[in-house]
Structure 1
Amino acid sequence: MTDTAARPTTRTLRLDGLSCGGCVAKTRRALEALDATTVIDLDTRLARVTTAHDTDELVAAIRAAGFDAAPTDGAPHAFITQGVSCQGCVGRIRRAIQQHDAEATVDGDPAHQWLTVASRLDGESLLAAIAEAGYTAEPARFTKRTRHIESMSCQGCVKRMREAIQGRDPLARVEGEPAEKRLTVASYLPDALLDAALTEAGYPPGGEASADAPTTEDAPNASDTAAPAAEPAGDARRSVELALSGITCASCVRTIQQALDATDGVERAEVNFASRTASVTGRASPEALIRAVQAVGYGAEVVEDLERGEAKREANEAREYRQRLRDTAIALVPGLALMASMPFHHPVLEGVERGFWVAVGLATFGVLATAGRVFFVGAAKAFRHHQANMDMLVALGTGVAWLYSMVVALAPGVVPEAARSLYFEASLMIVGLINVGQALEVRARGRTSQALKHLLDLRPRTARVIRDGEERDIDIDAVAEGDRLRVRPGERLPVDGEVVEGDSYIDESTLTGEPMPVAKGVGDEVAAGTVNGQGSLVYRATRVGRHTRLSRIIEQVRDAQNSRPPISRLADRVAAVFVPAVMIAAVLTALIWFNVGPEPRLTHMLVAATTVLIIACPCALGLATPISTMIGVGKAAEHGVLIRSGEALQTASRLTTLVVDKTGTLTEGRPRVTDWQVFGDESRALGAALALERGSEHPLATALVAFVEAREIAPTGIHEFTALTGRGVSARLAGGERLLLGNAALMEAEGVDLSPGRTWIEAAESRAHTVLHLAIDGRLAALFAVADPLRDDAVAAIARLKRAGLEVVMLTGDAPPTARAIAREAGIDDVRAGLLPEDKHDAIAELQSRGEVVGMVGDGINDAPALARADVGFAIGQGTDVAIESAGIALMRNSLHGVADAIAISQAALTNIKQNLWGAFGYNVLGIPIAAGILYPLTGMLLSPIIAALAMSASSVTVVSNANRLRFFKPDGNREVSA
């Protein structure tokens, strides 16, 4: 719902479907029915309104009135003017610019001599148009400034200030530091207009002014649009996500990819046909990227908020689906009627009947201009930019069929009598069938991002904070680090934090894939998106906004879904030449049929060439890889596996050897007492052990303290405590008896007889457990076996990996006896112990030199070199940040089953991609020759263009449907899950 108290903003929409004054009046009433909305300009093409509503709500209101609308395209420009004194002056400038670009939008603030223009014209042309209107202007400078905002308290404040500033300058970049009350703005706005925007938003600049002088950013000047590829890059390295429009096939993706790659400052660009997005990393500014895309004929806008971007994409897909169905009906109804009538009423192109068919041709043209408009407009754009795409194939095929039919109807004498066939119904049926195929493709494609949508749905919209002793619900964006929040039973946690009051069980399955709830109490960390159980918790926010664990997961999933595995390069190479090759094939087909084909040659030539154009399907090639990658990455996320890139996805599917670390990977990573033996009074012995070790931070001491405290035994009073370096500790009881706790060397040195426990000690040491000895008054009182035990599911997971055909190798820095004991227990045959971090790196290199494709699983800083060296690294569970950053795949739970899941999902995804690619290649390799008439000598028939259109639509739908099978893939239904 729109916050109608927000500052009104001028918005411009391109209108579609308005044909008269009545349509304009109806649209005006629909817009003015919205509160806080004033219509400035409205005609059959454009609407300019001042409103507090967002663009989606305006578009919805116009559609409810029976028309369509979309935001205007065009690169944004900003100017400082002279002589502009009123809105009448702005209107004169607007009319002057619109004489050269009818769809340009112009907004001005005469009080501050400020003018913004969204237009396809370059900066020099706009300055010339402003001069034609009788005014002078100069391009605004993109400058970086800071403001002290005393009333800024949270990121919610920053968000509201950003919206206020970007309402006047859409290119502005706004960052805030609430703790320091500092706002940093990079914008074209003059200082006075910037301060006015902040004041109107309720955040007047004040207090001490920043010491930083305004600096000119390296970002491009808004009026410099002639050469988008030559844009100076900014200083800051950033990742930008763009929502793209106008993409219809793999050739479009290739064109946009090349445009982005050619933009200065771009380090990496990934264009995703399935999601209609581009992810760009580098120093190029967002506006430079947008202009680069627009320069090759497509639309782009920055996705600032992922959740809002996904919602907008869904709305766009729903609109496209409805539009395609409408166009299908418009084309198929008359097309089917014509097909039904043709066998009974062959055209005799004389007199009245000839006039009838001319009228049918004109009506067909009207239908093509309506239902097929998207293809012809796309083809025209591609032609203007010297490109070739699917739209061009469809437009050529249907256009040639219609034009030939009109020639036959208007001037039958120029065509041999045997070739006087009409193909109006073919043009209509082709457009209708392709539209229905694309509608089905849109619907199926929408299901591919369900995993990301599910993650987005995990974020609550509000949080219950405790401030000044009162609880109140606030927007989640207004939560600041350090806030105390209350979570009631059954509620989702809004941000990350640390429990300060209460205890409960938390369901973390949505993040980790673990089905069992985890007990949480005071001091424990909790994560956003998890679900509270039956208890009530109060916790302190430690990470908010985009810094929460859930937000980082969402960003990584999105980035991985937009990345491309290496296998996609084959499709890219084919896509680069596909459409031109098809057009050449159509021309060759026409020449062959015209020169050596049977009579009627002209008819055969037309049918064969048109069918070749129509049957070719670059869409299937473009969808084959990205749609399976999106679903595969999303499926992995559902199982608590974050695959960081398409390359990691593909490499994981080819692994032959898996290298695992021991501590924290195979084992739990924290020692605990696994067995004990007491000689005499158990309470006395355990109390003495607790007293001796409770002040120590040594891992063995910590394990022993936890063991005794779990049995609720109080420590015994001691004095004369002494630490015996390398051997243990000693003290005296209140009664004077001497206590010793340590290794066998200490016992032997003090003359303690170990024979009562010799058998027990040998058994424990054979399992590579460390034995702690307790002696009271010179006699053995207790023995404790301490070990870092295997994870509960380690044995089952290793067995599962072996069943998958992987060779499992353990690399560890531990002593060989301990390493061999753990490996034997886990079922691992190849063990290499006593290794330094660089030794692990070299061991992996040696395996790779033998032709093995190696994966590495680790969790610590010492694993980072090996993780980076491996073909793909797996960072397990709560590993260190260094380990996670070095890995291509991150496991959100502490289980090797996550590795097996990742490999199984990767293999399924790659199999699916190969099926799609082979299907797309096979379809085109077989379909195009058949369309050209290679089977004519055997059958005496040519493939109908209508059947070709049906086949072309079916090929794309088949690829999308096959990819969607991955949504139902289960890595291992028989997996053992530990409680």
Structure 2
Amino acid sequence: MNSTPDNPPTTREEHTGHHDHAAHNGHSDHVGQFRRLFWIMLALALPVVGFNEMFAHLVGYQLPDAVWVWWISPILGTLVYFWGGQPFLVGAVSEIRSRNPGMMLLIGLAITVAFIASWGASLRILDHELNFWWELALLVVIMLLGHWIEMRSLAQTTSALDSLAALLPDEADKLDGDEVVKVAPADLLVGDVVIVRPGSSVPADGKIVDGSASIDESMITGESKPVRRGTGEHVVAGTVATDSGLRVQVTAVGDDTALAGIHKLVTDAQASSSRAQRIADVAAAWLFWFALAAAAITAIVWSLFGLPDMAVVRTITVLVIACPHALGLAIPLVVSISTERAARGGVLIKDRLALESTRTVQAVLFDKTGTLTKGEPTVTAIEPAEGRDQDEVLALAAAAEADSEHPLARAIRDAATARELRPPKARDFSSSPAVGVKATVEGAVIEVGGPHLLQQRDVTEQPIASRWRAEGAIILHVMADAQVIGALRLADEIRPESRETVGALHAAGLQVVMITGDAQAVADTVAKDLGIDRVFAGVRPEDKAAKVAELMGEGKKVAMVGDGVNDAPALAQADVGIAIGAGTDVAIGSAGVILASSDPRSVLSVIELSRASYRKMKQNLWWAAGYNLISVPLAAGVLAPIGFVLPMSIGAILMSASTVVVALNAQLLRRLDLAPAHSAARFTGSGVSG
């Protein structure tokens, strides 16, 4: 059934979108519909309550003695029942047809019983004390208020998805020959070249073909610090060039962009089932039968005591109190808000069960290359020969490697750039596979190479080389006119954030394990540097999953963190698979959690979010279910022998108050800052516990 201003969503699924978040684009309309309906019903309810004989008697004022006054409550109350109660009545019918009784059926039943009893009292068929028009009107208004608050809260949880779509510019500047034409981002094709002006958003995923700029990637990675991107590097749709213009060749458009992928992951996560949600659904079903049984017992007991009118009053109150409104809201709101917060922090939850399981993890297994390390060689030490200095050796090596595209050559050039060195010009460049490179620099023949170069020249390596070799490092010697002038130590550089990550995980009481295909010496060096508890070295890609199974066989809950194709089986094997740095398509497909950035501290954000979400779910479940279990007996009248019976109106107010409390409690998750640095600080500062 379609929703219109006079016909809001009625079924639980249509109303909340818990099962189909594709309908979230209509949330703002639903919020408006319930808001308008609430205010209209409030305007109608005021005269219903004010001119109701029973309410006037309870409060203590006298109504005018006129016939028209008598009919105000029945006429307007009927309008409130059919118009304001329509969402609940239609929802109740839907639940009956689907044989899935729940909140809507209980509300529909309660207001229908009140409606029939009130007309019976108005027509003098039933006792005048069964005139419930004022209570009926208040119940509908309060329930509409609760639904309005709920819909508004749910609409707010989709703001991350809306903001993702808003990241793309309205127009893109496409190069068409020598001209620049404005097109919609949706009209771009792979291979097109677009101009991204300073301060503008990148319209599609692509590769920079001209220029360099500091790119604000916070909406993708959660990190606020801009990242410098230059020619040949990739940029993502929705990121912003903050200081310079770029020319970008489009490599992906539409659903193939990272932004679209993030949108889909967040949507799928919000729509996916979770263990906690299933618990809430089971609790709601049991509560329905509990309420039905309590209502039946209430009616029978009060009738046996010769109070049929009170039996109707108490039965209606029981049905009102027992509505599992807060229970139905308890889990979905937490899940929606947590996935939205995660997306804003660069943590993409593909499987909610994975998020829930993360809080119980006891060991975190990191792949080394590309996860704890940068996955590319870096100059980590320079040992100059006597009479030379580090900058001189590095500058000459960078000059000789100027025309080489080898990864080691790039590492040497990058090291020279980092030290702000200006290598001299080189000529007569040549390279020899497995030996090294040679070039003439400032009149001297400069050579850079490995052990084969030393063997050919019959020279001795630097004394420190043996220690570097024991650590598993790559060693290159620099020679000038056949004389060794220094040695370079190259290794896969450890990410600075890795040390902080390992320390924070230890502070949280977790074991940290590293797995790698590298030699034992290399692995041990990295593990010692980071303080890692356990190392699996020399592991072939196909054996990584077996190592995960080995840890799990020891009774540990294991989270596997990796980024490559060879990590996919291990990610799938682990209790929780986490793909870091967006990873490969295969790794993402095998992981339940995807980290948009390459910062390993994001793992801490996942654990913190899992624990915080679980706490909120527990609090909400206890509040919602506990409230009903306590209030239903009070509504039934168990304390009547001592003179206390819970009025229906108070029951309705308390029930809606329960919903508001659950909603506000879930909203507290929005205060959680999932930036990796902040999560690490909280772990090490407080030893976050489960």
* 8 A contact 1:448–1:964 mirrored in 2: no
Paired residue for 1:570, among 279, 285, 300? 279
The residue that corresponds to 2:423 in the other structure is: 713
The residue that corresponds to 1:328 in the other structure is: 42
The one-letter code sitting in structure 2 at the alignment partner of 1:964 is Q
Paired residue for 2:29, among 311, 315, 337? 315
The residue that corresponds to 1:891 in the other structure is: 595
Measure how far apart 1:698 and its partner are: 4.8
More deviation in 745-754 or 333-342? 745-754
SS of the residue corresponding to residue 340 of structure 2 reads helix
Is the counterpart of residue 665 in structure 1 residue 371 in structure 2? yes
Measure how far apart 1:888 and its partner are: 1.2
SS of the residue corresponding to residue 834 of structure 1 reads coil
The residue that corresponds to 2:667 in the other structure is: 964
* Equivalent runs, 1:917-956 vs 2, <5 Å: 917-937=621-641, 939-956=642-659
Measure how far apart 1:733 and its partner are: 6.3
The residue that corresponds to 1:154 in the other structure is: none
The residue that corresponds to 2:111 in the other structure is: 398
CA distance in structure 2 between the aligned counterparts of 1:344 and 1:722, rounded to whole angstroms: 100
Paired residue for 1:379, among 87, 92, 95? 92
Paired residue for 1:463, among 166, 169, 172? 172
The one-letter code sitting in structure 2 at the alignment partner of 1:869 is Q
Cα–Cα, structure 1 residues 674 and 615, in superposed 2: closer, same or farther, change >3 Å?
same
Deviation string for 1:128-154 (max 9, x for gaps)? Answer: xxxxxxxxxxxxxxxxxxxxxxxxxxx
The one-letter code sitting in structure 1 at the alignment partner of 2:42 is T
- Normalised by the size of structure 1, how large is the TM-score? 0.64
The one-letter code sitting in structure 2 at the alignment partner of 1:342 is H
Measure how far apart 1:475 and its partner are: 2.2
Paired residue for 2:459, among 733, 749, 752? 752
CA distance in structure 2 between the aligned counterparts of 1:877 and 1:574, rounded to whole angstroms: 39
The residue that corresponds to 1:105 in the other structure is: none
* 8 A contact 1:565–1:649 mirrored in 2: no
CA distance in structure 1 between the aligned counterparts of 2:524 and 2:376, rounded to whole angstroms: 19
Cα–Cα, structure 1 residues 315 and 421, in superposed 2: closer, same or farther, change >3 Å?
closer
The residue that corresponds to 2:230 in the other structure is: 521
The residue that corresponds to 2:338 in the other structure is: 632
Q: Percent identity?
A: 34
Paired residue for 1:341, among 51, 56, 63? 56
Paired residue for 1:814, among 515, 518, 524? 518
Measure how far apart 1:356 and its partner are: 6.4
* Equivalent runs, 1:829-848 vs 2, <5 Å: 829-848=533-552
SS of the residue corresponding to residue 557 of structure 1 reads helix
The residue that corresponds to 1:98 in the other structure is: none
Is the counterpart of residue 559 in structure 1 residue 268 in structure 2? yes
Whichever structure has more helix as a proportion of its residues is: 2
Measure how far apart 1:580 and its partner are: 4.3
Is the counterpart of residue 547 in structure 1 residue 256 in structure 2? yes
- Normalised by the size of structure 2, how large is the TM-score? 0.89
Deviation string for 1:735-777 (max 9, x for gaps)? Answer: 99987644457636754244xx42x435544654332223445
Mind listing any 5+ residue stretches in structure 1 that lack a counterpart? 1-12, 16-58, 60-67, 71-243, 254-271, 280-302, 304-308
* Equivalent runs, 1:230-269 vs 2, <5 Å: 245-248=9-12, 253=13
CA distance in structure 2 between the aligned counterparts of 1:951 and 1:642, rounded to whole angstroms: 37
The residue that corresponds to 1:219 in the other structure is: none
Measure how far apart 1:631 and its partner are: 0.8
Cα–Cα, structure 1 residues 359 and 789, in superposed 2: closer, same or farther, change >3 Å?
closer
* 8 A contact 1:328–1:371 mirrored in 2: no
Is the counterpart of residue 589 in structure 1 residue 298 in structure 2? yes
* 8 A contact 2:51–2:69 mirrored in 1: no
* 8 A contact 1:496–1:544 mirrored in 2: yes
Paired residue for 1:366, among 62, 79, 89? 79
The one-letter code sitting in structure 1 at the alignment partner of 2:10 is G
* 8 A contact 1:330–1:367 mirrored in 2: yes
SS of the residue corresponding to residue 198 of structure 2 reads coil
CA distance in structure 2 between the aligned counterparts of 1:782 and 1:358, rounded to whole angstroms: 103
* 8 A contact 2:438–2:448 mirrored in 1: no
* 8 A contact 1:273–1:626 mirrored in 2: no
Q: CA RMSD in A?
A: 3.3
The residue that corresponds to 1:901 in the other structure is: 605
Cα–Cα, structure 1 residues 528 and 734, in superposed 2: closer, same or farther, change >3 Å?
closer
CA distance in structure 2 between the aligned counterparts of 1:479 and 1:903, rounded to whole angstroms: 39
The residue that corresponds to 2:325 in the other structure is: 619
Measure how far apart 1:14 and its partner are: 9.0
Cα–Cα, structure 1 residues 434 and 776, in superposed 2: closer, same or farther, change >3 Å?
closer
The one-letter code sitting in structure 1 at the alignment partner of 2:120 is V
Cα–Cα, structure 1 residues 732 and 571, in superposed 2: closer, same or farther, change >3 Å?
closer
Deviation string for 1:221-254 (max 9, x for gaps)? Answer: xxxxxxxxxxxxxxxxxxxxxxx94224xxxx5x
The one-letter code sitting in structure 1 at the alignment partner of 2:555 is G
The one-letter code sitting in structure 2 at the alignment partner of 1:935 is L
SS of the residue corresponding to residue 485 of structure 1 reads strand
More deviation in 365-374 or 428-437? 365-374
Is the counterpart of residue 875 in structure 1 residue 582 in structure 2? no
CA distance in structure 2 between the aligned counterparts of 1:956 and 1:454, rounded to whole angstroms: 28
CA distance in structure 1 between the aligned counterparts of 2:364 and 2:604, rounded to whole angstroms: 10
Cα–Cα, structure 1 residues 776 and 580, in superposed 2: closer, same or farther, change >3 Å?
same
CA distance in structure 2 between the aligned counterparts of 1:502 and 1:749, rounded to whole angstroms: 42
* 8 A contact 1:619–1:956 mirrored in 2: yes
The residue that corresponds to 2:358 in the other structure is: 652
* 8 A contact 1:273–1:622 mirrored in 2: no
Is the counterpart of residue 278 in structure 1 residue 14 in structure 2? no
* 8 A contact 2:154–2:336 mirrored in 1: no
The residue that corresponds to 2:502 in the other structure is: 798
SS of the residue corresponding to residue 225 of structure 2 reads coil
* Equivalent runs, 1:19-58 vs 2, <5 Å: none
Cα–Cα, structure 1 residues 590 and 751, in superposed 2: closer, same or farther, change >3 Å?
same
More deviation in 764-773 or 655-664? 764-773
Paired residue for 2:617, among 913, 917, 940? 913
Cα–Cα, structure 1 residues 354 and 334, in superposed 2: closer, same or farther, change >3 Å?
closer
Measure how far apart 1:323 and its partner are: 1.4
CA distance in structure 1 between the aligned counterparts of 2:215 and 2:558, rounded to whole angstroms: 36
More deviation in 919-928 or 699-708? 699-708
CA distance in structure 1 between the aligned counterparts of 2:107 and 2:94, rounded to whole angstroms: 14
CA distance in structure 2 between the aligned counterparts of 1:494 and 1:684, rounded to whole angstroms: 44
CA distance in structure 2 between the aligned counterparts of 1:344 and 1:875, rounded to whole angstroms: 64
The one-letter code sitting in structure 1 at the alignment partner of 2:423 is I
The residue that corresponds to 1:90 in the other structure is: none
Measure how far apart 1:310 and its partner are: 4.5
* 8 A contact 2:48–2:76 mirrored in 1: no
* 8 A contact 2:399–2:441 mirrored in 1: no
Measure how far apart 1:585 and its partner are: 2.4
Is the counterpart of residue 602 in structure 1 residue 308 in structure 2? yes
CA distance in structure 2 between the aligned counterparts of 1:743 and 1:335, rounded to whole angstroms: 92
More deviation in 449-458 or 786-795? 449-458
Measure how far apart 1:838 and its partner are: 3.2
Measure how far apart 1:857 and its partner are: 0.9
Is the counterpart of residue 771 in structure 1 residue 535 in structure 2? no
The residue that corresponds to 2:411 in the other structure is: 703
Cα–Cα, structure 1 residues 420 and 966, in superposed 2: closer, same or farther, change >3 Å?
closer
Is the counterpart of residue 854 in structure 1 residue 596 in structure 2? no
CA distance in structure 2 between the aligned counterparts of 1:69 and 1:376, rounded to whole angstroms: 14
* 8 A contact 2:472–2:519 mirrored in 1: no
Measure how far apart 1:668 and its partner are: 1.1
SS of the residue corresponding to residue 471 of structure 1 reads strand
* Equivalent runs, 1:378-457 vs 2, <5 Å: 378-383=91-96, 388-411=101-124, 420-457=129-166
Measure how far apart 1:616 and its partner are: 1.1
Measure how far apart 1:647 and its partner are: 1.0
